[in-house]
Amino acid sequence: MSPTASTKDFRVAIIGGGMCGLACAVGLAKRGIASDVFEAAPKFDEVGAGVGIGPNALRALKGIGVLDAVLARLDRDDRTARRMLYLSGTGAHEEVYDYNNSSEFTDADTGLGMYRPAFLDALLPLMDPKTAHFNKRCTSIETLDTGDYRLHFADGTTHDAGLVIGADGIKSTSRNAVVGERKVLQFTNTVAYRGLVPRDTLLQDGLKSDLSQRVHNFVGIDKHIIVFPIQSGKIINIVAFSTDNSVPPGSVAVAGPWVQSVPQQELLDTYAGWGPDAQLLLKYMKTPSKWFIHTLTPLDTFVCGRIALVGDAAHGMTPHLGSGVGQGFEDVFVLCQLLGHPTTTKANLEEVLKAYDTIRQPRANMVLRESFRAGVIYESYGKLGYGLGEMGGHLARIWEPIWRHDLDGDVAAAIESLKER
Protein backbone atom coordinates (compact mmCIF):
# COMPACT_ATOMS: atom_id res chain seq x y z
CA MET A 1 0.00 0.00 0.00
CA SER A 2 1.15 3.50 -0.78
CA PRO A 3 2.08 5.31 2.46
CA THR A 4 0.21 8.50 3.23
CA ALA A 5 3.11 9.64 5.46
CA SER A 6 6.53 9.94 3.83
CA THR A 7 9.98 8.91 4.98
CA LYS A 8 11.26 11.96 3.08
CA ASP A 9 10.91 15.68 3.81
CA PHE A 10 9.02 16.20 0.55
CA ARG A 11 5.80 14.90 -0.97
CA VAL A 12 5.35 14.05 -4.62
CA ALA A 13 2.51 14.96 -6.98
CA ILE A 14 2.20 12.72 -10.05
CA ILE A 15 0.18 14.19 -12.92
CA GLY A 16 -1.43 11.37 -14.93
CA GLY A 17 -2.31 7.81 -13.96
CA GLY A 18 -1.40 5.84 -17.10
CA MET A 19 1.00 2.89 -16.99
CA CYS A 20 3.97 5.12 -16.13
CA GLY A 21 2.22 7.29 -13.54
CA LEU A 22 0.90 4.24 -11.70
CA ALA A 23 4.26 2.44 -11.85
CA CYS A 24 5.79 5.58 -10.37
CA ALA A 25 3.26 5.81 -7.52
CA VAL A 26 3.80 2.17 -6.54
CA GLY A 27 7.59 2.34 -6.97
CA LEU A 28 7.84 5.40 -4.74
CA ALA A 29 5.54 3.84 -2.14
CA LYS A 30 7.82 0.80 -2.00
CA ARG A 31 10.63 3.19 -1.07
CA GLY A 32 8.56 4.89 1.61
CA ILE A 33 7.91 8.04 -0.43
CA ALA A 34 4.38 9.45 -0.33
CA SER A 35 2.75 10.59 -3.54
CA ASP A 36 -0.62 11.65 -4.89
CA VAL A 37 -1.78 10.80 -8.40
CA PHE A 38 -3.95 13.34 -10.22
CA GLU A 39 -5.77 11.77 -13.16
CA ALA A 40 -7.90 13.73 -15.63
CA ALA A 41 -10.29 10.82 -16.28
CA PRO A 42 -12.99 9.63 -13.84
CA LYS A 43 -11.03 6.37 -13.26
CA PHE A 44 -7.79 4.62 -14.16
CA ASP A 45 -8.29 3.00 -17.54
CA GLU A 46 -6.27 1.40 -20.33
CA VAL A 47 -7.13 0.73 -23.94
CA GLY A 48 -8.26 -2.88 -24.53
CA ALA A 49 -5.24 -3.83 -26.65
CA GLY A 50 -1.94 -5.65 -26.32
CA VAL A 51 1.41 -4.14 -25.49
CA GLY A 52 4.84 -5.60 -26.09
CA ILE A 53 7.23 -5.41 -23.14
CA GLY A 54 10.91 -5.85 -24.02
CA PRO A 55 13.60 -7.45 -21.81
CA ASN A 56 14.88 -4.05 -20.66
CA ALA A 57 11.34 -3.05 -19.68
CA LEU A 58 10.94 -6.27 -17.69
CA ARG A 59 14.18 -5.52 -15.82
CA ALA A 60 12.90 -1.99 -15.12
CA LEU A 61 9.61 -3.38 -13.75
CA LYS A 62 11.62 -5.72 -11.55
CA GLY A 63 13.73 -2.83 -10.29
CA ILE A 64 10.62 -0.74 -9.58
CA GLY A 65 9.33 -3.70 -7.55
CA VAL A 66 6.21 -4.61 -9.53
CA LEU A 67 7.31 -7.41 -11.87
CA ASP A 68 5.97 -10.27 -9.74
CA ALA A 69 2.57 -8.59 -9.46
CA VAL A 70 2.48 -8.12 -13.26
CA LEU A 71 3.57 -11.68 -14.02
CA ALA A 72 0.92 -13.00 -11.61
CA ARG A 73 -1.74 -11.45 -13.90
CA LEU A 74 -0.40 -13.12 -17.05
CA ASP A 75 -0.60 -16.55 -18.54
CA ARG A 76 2.74 -18.35 -18.28
CA ASP A 77 3.15 -18.56 -22.05
CA ASP A 78 2.95 -14.79 -22.49
CA ARG A 79 6.63 -14.62 -21.64
CA THR A 80 7.95 -15.33 -25.11
CA ALA A 81 10.73 -14.27 -27.40
CA ARG A 82 9.86 -10.84 -28.82
CA ARG A 83 12.16 -11.24 -31.80
CA MET A 84 10.39 -10.24 -34.94
CA LEU A 85 9.86 -12.29 -38.09
CA TYR A 86 9.41 -10.09 -41.17
CA LEU A 87 7.18 -11.38 -43.95
CA SER A 88 6.16 -9.76 -47.18
CA GLY A 89 2.70 -8.19 -46.89
CA THR A 90 1.77 -8.94 -50.48
CA GLY A 91 2.00 -12.19 -52.46
CA ALA A 92 2.60 -15.44 -50.56
CA HIS A 93 4.14 -13.75 -47.48
CA GLU A 94 7.69 -14.86 -48.22
CA GLU A 95 10.22 -14.44 -45.39
CA VAL A 96 11.95 -11.08 -45.70
CA TYR A 97 14.11 -11.19 -42.56
CA ASP A 98 14.35 -13.20 -39.35
CA TYR A 99 15.62 -11.14 -36.42
CA ASN A 100 16.67 -14.38 -34.70
CA ASN A 101 19.61 -14.47 -37.12
CA SER A 102 20.79 -11.05 -36.05
CA SER A 103 22.59 -12.00 -32.85
CA GLU A 104 23.13 -14.63 -30.15
CA PHE A 105 20.18 -14.46 -27.75
CA THR A 106 19.91 -15.66 -24.18
CA ASP A 107 17.06 -16.00 -21.68
CA ALA A 108 17.84 -12.43 -20.59
CA ASP A 109 16.52 -11.29 -23.99
CA THR A 110 13.02 -12.60 -23.34
CA GLY A 111 10.10 -10.17 -23.24
CA LEU A 112 6.35 -10.54 -23.14
CA GLY A 113 3.13 -9.52 -24.78
CA MET A 114 0.35 -8.51 -22.42
CA TYR A 115 -3.19 -7.23 -22.37
CA ARG A 116 -2.92 -3.61 -21.21
CA PRO A 117 -5.76 -3.71 -18.65
CA ALA A 118 -3.92 -6.59 -16.91
CA PHE A 119 -1.25 -4.07 -15.97
CA LEU A 120 -3.81 -1.98 -14.10
CA ASP A 121 -5.21 -5.10 -12.41
CA ALA A 122 -1.68 -5.86 -11.18
CA LEU A 123 -0.83 -2.39 -9.88
CA LEU A 124 -4.05 -0.99 -8.46
CA PRO A 125 -4.13 -3.34 -5.45
CA LEU A 126 -0.66 -2.02 -4.54
CA MET A 127 -1.89 1.59 -4.29
CA ASP A 128 -3.55 3.37 -1.39
CA PRO A 129 -6.89 4.46 -2.95
CA LYS A 130 -6.75 7.65 -0.84
CA THR A 131 -3.79 8.84 -2.92
CA ALA A 132 -5.68 8.62 -6.25
CA HIS A 133 -7.59 11.76 -7.29
CA PHE A 134 -9.87 11.61 -10.33
CA ASN A 135 -11.38 14.25 -12.63
CA LYS A 136 -8.26 16.30 -11.91
CA ARG A 137 -7.08 17.69 -15.23
CA CYS A 138 -3.97 19.74 -14.53
CA THR A 139 -4.04 22.99 -16.50
CA SER A 140 -0.86 24.67 -15.23
CA ILE A 141 1.95 24.46 -12.67
CA GLU A 142 2.82 27.57 -10.68
CA THR A 143 6.17 27.99 -8.89
CA LEU A 144 5.70 29.32 -5.35
CA ASP A 145 8.13 31.62 -3.49
CA THR A 146 9.10 28.65 -1.31
CA GLY A 147 10.29 26.74 -4.40
CA ASP A 148 7.36 24.35 -4.07
CA TYR A 149 4.76 24.01 -6.82
CA ARG A 150 1.04 24.66 -7.01
CA LEU A 151 -0.90 22.52 -9.47
CA HIS A 152 -4.01 24.11 -10.93
CA PHE A 153 -6.84 21.86 -12.10
CA ALA A 154 -9.66 22.40 -14.58
CA ASP A 155 -12.24 22.14 -11.75
CA GLY A 156 -10.74 25.24 -10.07
CA THR A 157 -8.96 23.36 -7.25
CA THR A 158 -5.22 23.42 -6.51
CA HIS A 159 -2.66 21.18 -4.82
CA ASP A 160 0.83 22.05 -3.48
CA ALA A 161 3.81 19.68 -3.67
CA GLY A 162 7.59 19.75 -3.24
CA LEU A 163 8.25 17.60 -6.32
CA VAL A 164 6.15 17.18 -9.46
CA ILE A 165 6.32 14.20 -11.83
CA GLY A 166 4.63 14.79 -15.18
CA ALA A 167 3.26 11.45 -16.42
CA ASP A 168 0.43 12.91 -18.46
CA GLY A 169 1.18 11.27 -21.78
CA ILE A 170 2.10 12.55 -25.22
CA LYS A 171 -0.31 15.53 -25.05
CA SER A 172 1.21 16.49 -21.70
CA THR A 173 0.37 19.79 -20.04
CA SER A 174 3.11 19.43 -17.43
CA ARG A 175 5.66 19.46 -20.29
CA ASN A 176 4.95 23.18 -20.76
CA ALA A 177 6.47 23.83 -17.33
CA VAL A 178 9.69 22.13 -18.48
CA VAL A 179 10.17 23.20 -22.10
CA GLY A 180 7.70 26.06 -22.54
CA GLU A 181 4.82 26.09 -24.98
CA ARG A 182 6.90 25.65 -28.16
CA LYS A 183 5.67 23.09 -30.69
CA VAL A 184 7.31 19.74 -29.94
CA LEU A 185 4.57 17.38 -31.11
CA GLN A 186 4.02 16.30 -34.68
CA PHE A 187 1.71 14.00 -36.63
CA THR A 188 3.81 11.40 -38.47
CA ASN A 189 1.26 10.98 -41.31
CA THR A 190 0.91 7.39 -40.09
CA VAL A 191 -2.35 5.92 -38.85
CA ALA A 192 -2.66 2.62 -37.00
CA TYR A 193 -5.74 0.37 -37.02
CA ARG A 194 -5.91 -1.79 -33.89
CA GLY A 195 -7.86 -4.92 -33.12
CA LEU A 196 -7.87 -8.22 -31.20
CA VAL A 197 -8.91 -11.49 -32.84
CA PRO A 198 -9.15 -15.04 -31.34
CA ARG A 199 -6.43 -17.21 -32.93
CA ASP A 200 -8.81 -20.17 -33.22
CA THR A 201 -11.07 -18.14 -35.50
CA LEU A 202 -8.12 -17.39 -37.79
CA LEU A 203 -6.94 -21.00 -37.82
CA GLN A 204 -10.43 -22.29 -38.65
CA ASP A 205 -10.53 -19.91 -41.61
CA GLY A 206 -7.21 -21.17 -42.99
CA LEU A 207 -4.47 -18.95 -41.46
CA LYS A 208 -1.09 -20.29 -42.62
CA SER A 209 1.39 -18.24 -40.53
CA ASP A 210 2.15 -19.61 -37.08
CA LEU A 211 1.28 -16.60 -34.92
CA SER A 212 1.25 -18.50 -31.63
CA GLN A 213 4.71 -17.44 -30.40
CA ARG A 214 6.62 -14.77 -32.24
CA VAL A 215 5.98 -11.18 -33.24
CA HIS A 216 5.27 -11.05 -36.98
CA ASN A 217 5.62 -7.98 -39.16
CA PHE A 218 4.02 -8.01 -42.61
CA VAL A 219 5.89 -5.31 -44.55
CA GLY A 220 5.21 -3.40 -47.76
CA ILE A 221 5.42 0.02 -49.35
CA ASP A 222 3.92 2.72 -47.06
CA LYS A 223 2.27 0.01 -44.89
CA HIS A 224 3.05 -2.69 -42.36
CA ILE A 225 1.07 -4.89 -40.00
CA ILE A 226 2.48 -5.96 -36.63
CA VAL A 227 0.91 -9.00 -35.03
CA PHE A 228 1.66 -10.73 -31.74
CA PRO A 229 -0.01 -13.21 -29.41
CA ILE A 230 -1.32 -12.36 -25.94
CA GLN A 231 -3.15 -14.45 -23.35
CA SER A 232 -1.14 -17.62 -24.08
CA GLY A 233 -1.62 -17.24 -27.81
CA LYS A 234 -5.42 -17.41 -27.57
CA ILE A 235 -5.74 -13.81 -28.75
CA ILE A 236 -3.85 -12.14 -31.60
CA ASN A 237 -3.10 -8.44 -31.20
CA ILE A 238 -3.08 -6.64 -34.54
CA VAL A 239 -1.76 -3.18 -35.36
CA ALA A 240 -2.00 -2.25 -39.05
CA PHE A 241 -0.03 0.88 -40.02
CA SER A 242 -0.46 3.02 -43.12
CA THR A 243 1.50 6.17 -43.98
CA ASP A 244 0.80 9.03 -46.36
CA ASN A 245 4.26 9.86 -47.66
CA SER A 246 3.03 12.49 -50.12
CA VAL A 247 3.61 15.19 -47.49
CA PRO A 248 6.46 15.61 -44.98
CA PRO A 249 5.95 14.48 -41.35
CA GLY A 250 4.77 17.35 -39.17
CA SER A 251 3.12 19.26 -42.02
CA VAL A 252 -0.43 18.09 -41.24
CA ALA A 253 -2.32 18.89 -38.02
CA VAL A 254 -4.97 16.36 -36.95
CA ALA A 255 -8.13 18.35 -36.34
CA GLY A 256 -10.40 15.73 -34.72
CA PRO A 257 -9.77 13.18 -31.97
CA TRP A 258 -6.53 11.17 -32.26
CA VAL A 259 -8.43 7.90 -31.79
CA GLN A 260 -11.54 7.20 -33.87
CA SER A 261 -13.81 4.24 -34.58
CA VAL A 262 -13.91 3.62 -38.32
CA PRO A 263 -15.87 1.30 -40.62
CA GLN A 264 -14.06 -1.94 -41.40
CA GLN A 265 -14.30 -1.13 -45.12
CA GLU A 266 -11.74 1.68 -44.70
CA LEU A 267 -9.27 -0.88 -43.38
CA LEU A 268 -10.03 -3.40 -46.14
CA ASP A 269 -9.63 -0.73 -48.82
CA THR A 270 -6.31 0.39 -47.35
CA TYR A 271 -4.79 -3.09 -47.69
CA ALA A 272 -6.49 -4.14 -50.93
CA GLY A 273 -4.12 -6.43 -52.84
CA TRP A 274 -2.27 -7.69 -49.75
CA GLY A 275 -1.72 -11.42 -49.27
CA PRO A 276 -4.08 -14.05 -47.85
CA ASP A 277 -3.00 -14.08 -44.18
CA ALA A 278 -3.01 -10.29 -44.04
CA GLN A 279 -6.52 -10.24 -45.50
CA LEU A 280 -7.66 -12.84 -42.99
CA LEU A 281 -6.39 -10.81 -40.04
CA LEU A 282 -8.22 -7.72 -41.30
CA LYS A 283 -11.40 -9.65 -42.08
CA TYR A 284 -11.91 -10.33 -38.36
CA MET A 285 -11.13 -6.78 -37.23
CA LYS A 286 -14.84 -5.96 -37.36
CA THR A 287 -14.70 -2.75 -35.32
CA PRO A 288 -11.23 -1.29 -35.80
CA SER A 289 -10.06 1.79 -33.94
CA LYS A 290 -7.86 4.20 -35.88
CA TRP A 291 -4.98 5.94 -34.09
CA PHE A 292 -3.20 9.01 -35.47
CA ILE A 293 0.44 8.35 -34.60
CA HIS A 294 2.30 11.35 -33.22
CA THR A 295 5.88 11.75 -32.08
CA LEU A 296 7.76 14.34 -30.06
CA THR A 297 10.75 16.08 -31.55
CA PRO A 298 13.42 15.05 -29.01
CA LEU A 299 13.41 17.31 -25.93
CA ASP A 300 16.72 18.81 -24.72
CA THR A 301 15.79 18.06 -21.14
CA PHE A 302 13.19 16.13 -19.13
CA VAL A 303 13.52 18.28 -15.99
CA CYS A 304 13.20 21.84 -14.76
CA GLY A 305 13.85 22.68 -11.11
CA ARG A 306 11.92 20.06 -9.14
CA ILE A 307 9.67 18.97 -12.01
CA ALA A 308 10.52 15.77 -13.93
CA LEU A 309 8.80 14.26 -16.94
CA VAL A 310 8.40 10.50 -17.42
CA GLY A 311 6.93 8.28 -20.13
CA ASP A 312 5.27 9.73 -23.21
CA ALA A 313 5.24 13.22 -21.66
CA ALA A 314 9.05 13.14 -22.00
CA HIS A 315 9.57 11.06 -25.14
CA GLY A 316 6.31 10.08 -26.84
CA MET A 317 7.54 8.09 -29.82
CA THR A 318 6.30 6.00 -32.72
CA PRO A 319 5.51 2.41 -31.68
CA HIS A 320 7.67 0.72 -34.33
CA LEU A 321 10.17 -0.84 -31.90
CA GLY A 322 7.50 -1.59 -29.28
CA SER A 323 9.53 0.36 -26.75
CA GLY A 324 7.58 3.47 -25.71
CA VAL A 325 6.25 2.27 -22.42
CA GLY A 326 9.47 0.35 -21.78
CA GLN A 327 11.38 3.62 -21.91
CA GLY A 328 8.79 5.05 -19.51
CA PHE A 329 9.40 2.17 -17.09
CA GLU A 330 13.13 2.86 -17.31
CA ASP A 331 12.42 6.52 -16.38
CA VAL A 332 10.39 5.40 -13.40
CA PHE A 333 13.01 2.90 -12.25
CA VAL A 334 15.83 5.48 -12.38
CA LEU A 335 13.71 8.14 -10.67
CA CYS A 336 12.62 5.76 -7.90
CA GLN A 337 16.20 4.63 -7.26
CA LEU A 338 17.53 8.18 -7.10
CA LEU A 339 14.66 9.62 -5.04
CA GLY A 340 14.69 6.63 -2.69
CA HIS A 341 18.43 6.93 -1.97
CA PRO A 342 19.08 7.72 1.72
CA THR A 343 20.99 10.90 0.87
CA THR A 344 18.14 12.40 -1.18
CA THR A 345 16.32 15.21 0.61
CA LYS A 346 14.36 18.24 -0.43
CA ALA A 347 17.59 20.28 -0.30
CA ASN A 348 19.29 18.32 -3.10
CA LEU A 349 16.26 17.39 -5.23
CA GLU A 350 17.34 19.62 -8.11
CA GLU A 351 20.74 17.91 -8.29
CA VAL A 352 19.05 14.51 -8.12
CA LEU A 353 16.72 15.38 -11.00
CA LYS A 354 19.67 16.61 -13.05
CA ALA A 355 21.25 13.18 -12.55
CA TYR A 356 17.98 11.59 -13.72
CA ASP A 357 18.05 13.79 -16.82
CA THR A 358 21.68 12.93 -17.58
CA ILE A 359 20.85 9.23 -17.61
CA ARG A 360 17.47 9.27 -19.26
CA GLN A 361 17.36 12.05 -21.86
CA PRO A 362 20.03 10.74 -24.26
CA ARG A 363 18.91 7.14 -24.04
CA ALA A 364 15.16 7.68 -24.41
CA ASN A 365 15.76 10.06 -27.32
CA MET A 366 18.00 7.47 -28.99
CA VAL A 367 15.10 5.00 -28.81
CA LEU A 368 12.69 7.66 -30.12
CA ARG A 369 14.90 8.28 -33.17
CA GLU A 370 15.49 4.58 -33.81
CA SER A 371 11.75 3.88 -33.59
CA PHE A 372 11.06 6.43 -36.29
CA ARG A 373 13.86 5.00 -38.45
CA ALA A 374 12.48 1.47 -38.01
CA GLY A 375 9.06 2.57 -39.29
CA VAL A 376 10.64 4.03 -42.44
CA ILE A 377 12.54 0.76 -43.06
CA TYR A 378 9.46 -1.43 -42.50
CA GLU A 379 7.49 0.57 -45.05
CA SER A 380 10.17 0.42 -47.75
CA TYR A 381 9.84 -3.21 -48.76
CA GLY A 382 8.74 -4.04 -52.27
CA LYS A 383 8.63 -2.43 -55.68
CA LEU A 384 10.88 0.68 -55.76
CA GLY A 385 12.02 -0.11 -52.19
CA TYR A 386 14.20 -2.85 -50.67
CA GLY A 387 14.27 -6.21 -52.39
CA LEU A 388 14.34 -9.59 -50.70
CA GLY A 389 17.54 -9.88 -48.63
CA GLU A 390 18.14 -6.11 -48.42
CA MET A 391 16.04 -5.10 -45.42
CA GLY A 392 17.93 -7.24 -42.92
CA GLY A 393 21.08 -5.18 -43.28
CA HIS A 394 19.18 -2.12 -42.03
CA LEU A 395 17.43 -3.93 -39.18
CA ALA A 396 20.20 -6.18 -37.86
CA ARG A 397 20.80 -5.59 -34.14
CA ILE A 398 18.38 -2.63 -34.05
CA TRP A 399 16.95 -3.80 -30.71
CA GLU A 400 20.21 -4.75 -28.97
CA PRO A 401 21.07 -1.25 -27.63
CA ILE A 402 17.52 -1.02 -26.27
CA TRP A 403 17.22 -4.49 -24.78
CA ARG A 404 20.73 -4.96 -23.38
CA HIS A 405 21.50 -1.64 -21.73
CA ASP A 406 22.95 -1.70 -18.16
CA LEU A 407 20.62 0.72 -16.38
CA ASP A 408 21.73 -0.45 -12.93
CA GLY A 409 25.23 0.67 -13.92
CA ASP A 410 23.91 4.10 -14.93
CA VAL A 411 22.14 4.52 -11.59
CA ALA A 412 25.21 3.41 -9.60
CA ALA A 413 27.40 5.90 -11.49
CA ALA A 414 24.87 8.70 -10.92
CA ILE A 415 24.75 7.98 -7.19
CA GLU A 416 28.56 8.04 -7.00
CA SER A 417 28.70 11.40 -8.77
CA LEU A 418 25.97 12.80 -6.51
CA LYS A 419 27.92 11.67 -3.43
CA GLU A 420 31.02 13.44 -4.73
CA ARG A 421 29.04 16.64 -5.12
Ligand X SMILES: Cc1cc2nc3c(=O)[nH]c(=O)nc-3n(C[C@H](O)[C@H](O)[C@H](O)COP(=O)(O)OP(=O)(O)OC[C@H]3O[C@@H](n4cnc5c(N)ncnc54)[C@H](O)[C@@H]3O)c2cc1C
Taking Cα atoms as reference points, which of 224, 191, 235, 288 lies closest to residue 89? 224
- Cβ atoms of 151 and 14 closer than 8 Å: no
Which segment (127-135, 175-183, 301-309, 318-326) binds ligand X by CB under 6 A?
Answer: 318-326
Query: Helices marked H in 245-300 — which ranges?
Result: 264-270, 276-283
| 3-state secondary structure labels for all residues of 288-355 | CEEEEEEEECCCCCCEECCEEECCHHHHCCCCCCCCHHHHHHHHHHHHHHHHHCCCCCHHHHHHHHHH
Asked if 410 touches ligand X (CB under 6 A), the answer is no
From candidates 109, 168, 357, 370, binder to ligand X by CB under 6 A: 168
Tell me which residues in 70-129 interact with ligand X (CB under 6 A).
none
Task: Give, as one character, the DSSP assignment of residue 36.
Answer: E
334-369 burial code (b ≥16 CB/10 A, e <16): bbbbbbbbeebeeeebeebbbbbbbbbbebbbbbbe
Radius of gyration for the alpha carbons in the chain, expressed in angstroms and rounded: 22
From candidates 11, 14, 17, 290, binder to ligand X by CB under 6 A: 17
Q: Indicate the residue among 15 and 227 with the shorter CB distance to ligand X.
A: 15
Asked if 324 touches ligand X (CB under 6 A), the answer is yes
Task: Give, as one character, the DSSP assignment of residue 142.
Answer: E
Taking Cα atoms as reference points, which of 181, 175, 174 lies closest to residue 39? 174
Residue nearest to ligand X (CB): 18
Tell how many helices (H) and how many strands (E) occur in the chain: 14, 19
Minimum Å gap between C-beta 293 and ligand X is 6
Asked if 312 touches ligand X (CB under 6 A), the answer is yes
From candidates 51, 71, 267, 282, binder to ligand X by CB under 6 A: 51
From candidates 84, 112, 138, 238, binder to ligand X by CB under 6 A: 138
Distances from the Cα of 186 to the Cα of 172, 178, 197, 293, 364, angstroms: 13, 18, 31, 9, 17
Which segment (12-20, 267-275, 357-365, 400-408) binds ligand X by CB under 6 A?
Answer: 12-20
Asked if 20 touches ligand X (CB under 6 A), the answer is yes
Minimum Å gap between C-beta 417 and ligand X is 27
Asked if 335 touches ligand X (CB under 6 A), the answer is no
Q: At what angle do helices 349-378 and 324-340 cross, to 10 degrees?
A: 170
Asked if 52 touches ligand X (CB under 6 A), the answer is yes
- Rounded Cα–Cα distance for residues 112 and 82 (Å): 7
Cα dihedral: 73, 218, 249, 390 (round 10): 120
Minimum Å gap between C-beta 240 and ligand X is 10
Asked if 166 touches ligand X (CB under 6 A), the answer is no
**H/E element, 4:** none
Which segment (65-73, 87-95, 319-327, 332-340) binds ligand X by CB under 6 A?
Answer: 319-327
Minimum Å gap between C-beta 421 and ligand X is 30
- Rounded Cα–Cα distance for residues 151 and 166 (Å): 11
Minimum Å gap between C-beta 215 and ligand X is 9
Minimum Å gap between C-beta 205 and ligand X is 25
Asked if 411 touches ligand X (CB under 6 A), the answer is no
From candidates 18, 27, 63, 195, binder to ligand X by CB under 6 A: 18
Minimum Å gap between C-beta 70 and ligand X is 13
Q: Indicate the residue among 2 and 344 with the shorter CB distance to ligand X.
A: 2
Cβ count within 10 A of residue 258:
14
From candidates 173, 242, 295, 361, binder to ligand X by CB under 6 A: 173
Spell out, one character per residue from 282 to 301, where the chain touches ligand X: x when CB under 6 A holds, - when not. Answer: ---------x----------
Taking Cα atoms as reference points, which of 346, 315, 343 lies closest to residue 328? 315
Which segment (28-36, 135-143, 373-381, 398-406) binds ligand X by CB under 6 A?
Answer: 135-143
Asked if 169 touches ligand X (CB under 6 A), the answer is yes
Which segment (34-42, 86-94, 266-274, 395-403) binds ligand X by CB under 6 A?
Answer: 34-42
By the criterion CB under 6 A, which residues form the site for ligand X?
Answer: 15-21, 38-41, 51-52, 136-138, 167-169, 173, 192, 194, 239, 291, 311-312, 319, 322-326, 328
